[in-house]
Structure 1
Amino acid sequence: MDIVPASIHDLYLARGREAFSHVWTTPAFNLRALPFDCARAAFRSAHKVDAAAMIFELARVELGWTNQTLAEYAASILAAAIAEGYRGALFLQGDHFQISASLPLEQEKAAVENLIAEALAAGFYNIDVDTSTLVDLSKPMVMEQQTVNATLSAELAAHVRKLQPQGVTVSIGGEIGEVGGHVSTVEELRAYMSQFIERFASNQPGLSKVSIHTGTAHGGIPLPDGSMAKVNIDFDTLKNLGQIARDEYGMGGAVQHGASTLPPEHFNQFVTHGAIEVHLATAFMSTFYKNIPVEMKNEMFAWLDEHLAAERKPDMTNEQFHHNTQMHALAPFKESAWNLPTDVKDQLSAAWEAQFDMLFERLGCAGTRQIVEQVIHPVKIQPKLEDYLNHQQSSMQVAGLAG
């Protein structure tokens, strides 16, 4: 059917060389709830404006939150593409393949290596290696702060290159600072990249992008009434570090995380400031909660009240608590969500489609199909049944990881 899992690597490097007059920011969608239905809405929206520069991703921690394997998520997205008549390269991404700083390092490294193998078998040819949890700000020198991060990043990137299918150059992303921490600096980027290049020591392609922190937080910051706090994004940092990533290291640019709860007017700024990619998750999940029957939502929130009580801080309102923990109710109510009545799903899908319409328009994605087809020539990799039978999900129990 010519729906082919592909790597976005060559497109990003071409963007870094300014090979196109068209400028856009690629949206990366984390679809936690009803990914089949949500992806269908995305493909319908993309068809309206002839967009193809888009990524469907899932983070390591989200596998447990949503009770999905990577193979299941890939099946949901591919099935949605079939249902909506989408054709061409399809970009599946492992987001935040992250090392937990609270668990033994070798154990965590092995878990992420296993997850990389699992992802590649399922057609995820875009992988974000995230060892930014190991940045040590207690060290006096920035170079020392980034050493463990760069070293582990290089080792995991080499693991990706070792396992990637013949003919595929997986797009690999690195990360220099945890989302929610301090705003990233030029010195940190250069310290990370210089050590990454030294330790990667390979004649194979390195990173296609690098994630930085610009002042956002995953999931946003809920106020007592449930509305979201205004976030001051350092767009100048996004622009400057992205330019250095392109000019000095041949990458596509810098990646923005934690953006889905921002006001719509912010999204044009990602394009004008040169963001190569923006990650979007929470807003789609919030739309799910807003459109399901109130009885089901109350049941899910009651489950959170009972099972996540330890997460509630004394000064939290119900709105803040439920916003911060709502991802944990998706797995236990996965079957209930799947079995929602058709009219409810139709309403939900329409709301999601409106979100995708806004994002594709404001991120400049209209008309990107022609560019993608010009640059990306995906290799058709025949899946192996044994890959799906032999791999066990390696990352359901994680602590302190980003989504």
Structure 2
Amino acid sequence: EAIEAGFYNIDIDPSTLVDYSKESLLEQQKENYLNTARMTDFIRSLEPEGITVSIGAEIGHIGGKNSTPDEAEAFMEGYKNTLSEMGKDNLTGISKISVQTGTAHGGVPLPDGSIAEVKLDFNVLDSIGKLVKGKYGLSGTVQHGASTLPDELFDKFPENNCSEIHLATGFQNIMYDLAPEELKDKIYSFIKENFASEWKEGKTEQQFLYSTRKKGLGPFKKEWWYLDKDIKEKILNALEDKFQFLFSKLNVFDTREYTDKFIKLVKVPYKAGGTPKEVEDVRNLKLEEGAD
């Protein structure tokens, strides 16, 4: 369904299967690279003609210990060997690799609802980025959980072999910061009623709501969509300002020539019947904390 809907950038994340109790790095990463290879093959089998989905892997669980070049190399060697054993030597592999640098998905909310300062290790991005670019032909590393980092850090990502950065929580925060109190109260009541089981012991209400309020976007899509024009314009203007800032810091401006050179436009016809007739209740679906 995702590929049929036009999602051609997919991150595979079996990194929670990494077993640090194993002796060697290759053994630690085994379930990770095995499942990444299998999913790579599966995704390639679903691609529309002329489309190459950009696939990302992950070597360290976001929020866990920082990743190392040796772990990246162990993963890549295991991944390549697995594809070879599957008879898929010529299969287009992953294009990027997510690493843990000290961040957490969506940031770490403090008891008062503010976000903890993050100590991000750019050396992780740089050293692993150099390795995977030079030895395996990847685009570089991927940074998760960067939305809540200080503004002055963002120009460091292009300098340190980071080819992708995940920022969704920052955009979500702008929406909630500027949303009417009435709508926020309605959403927060819904979250407390339907996701109370995710309110972990020792967490304040502010921490709980910050970590789960992404689940208030879908069920209240209509309310968000039909906000008063002046409120919606404030949100859209704030988002545009943020995009302008990020595009500048991340060196996105003036790159059209490269996309024109390397990316071929492929028009894929709409495939009817992809949307299920019955609406699925996803309120009990367990998602990872935060959003990025």
TM-score (norm 1): 0.67
Once the two structures are superposed, residues 340-390 of structure 1 have per-residue CA deviations (whole angstroms, 9 ceiling, x without a partner) of 11111111111111111111111111111122112111222222214x247
1:214 paired residue number: 101
Aligned residue for 1:174, secondary structure, equals: strand
Q: May I ask how many residue pairs the two structures share in their alignment?
A: 285
Once the two structures are superposed, residues 286-306 of structure 1 have per-residue CA deviations (whole angstroms, 9 ceiling, x without a partner) of 111111111111222233333
Of 220, 232, 249, 1:345 maps to: 232
Q: Does 1:279 align with 2:166?
A: yes
Of 254, 259, 268, 1:367 maps to: 254
Shift of 1:271: 1.3
1:242-281 matched pairs, under 5 angstroms: 242-281=129-168
1:240 paired residue number: 127
Gapped runs of 5+ residues in structure 1?
1-117
Residues in 1 aligned to 2:280 and 2:10: alpha-carbon distance in whole angstroms: 16
1:354 paired residue number: 241
Of 204, 214, 221, 2:91 maps to: 204
2:46 paired residue number: 163
Aligned residue for 1:160, secondary structure, equals: helix
Aligned residue for 1:251, secondary structure, equals: coil
1:309 paired residue number: 196
Relative to structure 1, the CA distance from residue 136 to residue 346 in structure 2 (aligned partners, 3 Å threshold; closer, same or farther) is same
1:125 paired residue number: 8
1:1-400 matched pairs, under 5 angstroms: 118-201=1-84, 202=88, 203-386=90-273, 388-389=274-275, 396=282, 398-399=285-286
Structure with the higher strand share, 1 or 2: 1
Residues in 2 aligned to 1:167 and 1:302: alpha-carbon distance in whole angstroms: 46
RMSD across aligned positions (CA): 2.1
Relative to structure 1, the CA distance from residue 346 to residue 400 in structure 2 (aligned partners, 3 Å threshold; closer, same or farther) is closer
Aligned residue for 2:155, secondary structure, equals: helix
Residues in 2 aligned to 1:389 and 1:301: alpha-carbon distance in whole angstroms: 29
Gapped runs of 5+ residues in structure 2?
none
Residues in 2 aligned to 1:379 and 1:280: alpha-carbon distance in whole angstroms: 27
Relative to structure 1, the CA distance from residue 158 to residue 225 in structure 2 (aligned partners, 3 Å threshold; closer, same or farther) is same
Aligned residue for 2:116, secondary structure, equals: coil
Residues in 1 aligned to 2:150 and 2:36: alpha-carbon distance in whole angstroms: 33
Which structure has more relative contact order (CA 8 Å, sep 6+)? It is: 1
Once the two structures are superposed, residues 137-187 of structure 1 have per-residue CA deviations (whole angstroms, 9 ceiling, x without a partner) of 222222111101100100110111122122222211111111111101112
Relative to structure 1, the CA distance from residue 274 to residue 377 in structure 2 (aligned partners, 3 Å threshold; closer, same or farther) is same
Residues in 2 aligned to 1:165 and 1:155: alpha-carbon distance in whole angstroms: 19
Aligned residue for 2:247, secondary structure, equals: helix
| Amino acid aligned to 2:19 | D
Relative to structure 1, the CA distance from residue 128 to residue 337 in structure 2 (aligned partners, 3 Å threshold; closer, same or farther) is same
Shift of 1:321: 2.2
TM-score (norm 2): 0.91
Residues in 2 aligned to 1:302 and 1:166: alpha-carbon distance in whole angstroms: 46
Residues in 1 aligned to 2:64 and 2:130: alpha-carbon distance in whole angstroms: 22
Aligned residue for 1:211, secondary structure, equals: strand
Residues in 1 aligned to 2:112 and 2:276: alpha-carbon distance in whole angstroms: 47
